[in-house]
A and B are shown apart, each in its own frame.
Chain A
Amino acid sequence: GESVGLHLPTLSVQEGDNSIINCAYSNSASDYFIWYKQESGKGPQFIIDIRSNMDKRQGQRVTVLLNKTVKHLSLQIAATQPGDSAVYFCAENEGGATNKLIFGTGTLLAVQP
């Protein structure tokens, strides 16, 4: 079936460094992708999104890159801060009548002060 493939790896970075979190997706029909941040005990929080007609989108301290050729997404966080510590998920949306999201397993980002 369709899947966005992550198996909860952990990324440990020093405060102030840049972080890169990767994600592979498998559904070629997906045309919209989102990165979410989930802190312990909370729901997913929208970070940034990108449509399939783009390969890069920048927000405040975050950048998402999309490589459709190899079905790969990445999230770059500049100058990582302790408050960035959380689990990060990519999600894909193939549009259509339901607008449902397909989530990956997530990456735990641990920021060391």
Chain B
Amino acid sequence: NAGVMQNPRHLVRRRGQEARLRCSPMKGHSHVYWYRQLPEEGLKFMVYLQKENIIDESGMPKERFSAEFPKEGPSILRIQQVVRGDSAAYFCASSPGLVRGSYGYTFGSGTRLTVV
């Protein structure tokens, strides 16, 4: 089991470009969560998706950010017209359901987005 796979690991974008971050959940996991981490801060919840459905996007900025988790393929976090303030580490986690405990959430290694 390869765990939660995120790519790319590092992404550099110029201001105004688009950033696409991908997350492949663990095998058998149908729930995906995206979090953002600024330097020296904790992770902040952005969005929770199940296959083809957004369940909770209360932490997602209203503009420029979108997320999807299609029936086939990875979950995508898309940031349009990036600004320097979008520079952060973006982590994806997956779970097999609303399961707590060590077998619930599993985090990926993150994508570090740098906007220049």
A34→B106 CA distance, assembly (Å)? 12
Range for the number of chain B residues in contact with chain A: 20 to 34
Most buried by B among A42, A44, A102: A44
Instruction: Choose one: A8, A41, A43, A49; the contact of B108 (CB below 8 Å).
Output: A43
A106 to chain B, nearest CB (A): 6
Q: Are A44 and B107 in contact, CB atoms less than 8 angstroms apart?
A: yes
A103→B107 CA distance, assembly (Å)? 14
Q: Is B48 an interface residue (CB 8 A)?
A: yes
Within 8 A of B (CB), among A57-113: 89, 91, 93, 97-106
Most buried by B among A4, A8, A49, A100: A100
B85 contacts across to A, CB distance below 8 A: none
A91 contacts across to B, CB distance below 8 A: 42-43
A93 contacts across to B, CB distance below 8 A: 100
> Given A97-B56, A99-B48, A100-B56: A45 and B43 within 8 A (CB)?
no
Instruction: Choose one: A41, A98, A105, A106; the contact of B109 (CB below 8 Å).
Output: A41
Q: Are B40 and A103 in contact, CB atoms less than 8 angstroms apart?
A: no
Q: Are A101 and B98 in contact, CB atoms less than 8 angstroms apart?
A: no
Q: Is A13 an interface residue (CB 8 A)?
A: no
Instruction: Choose one: B35, B40, B59, B95; the contact of A99 (CB below 8 Å).
Output: B95
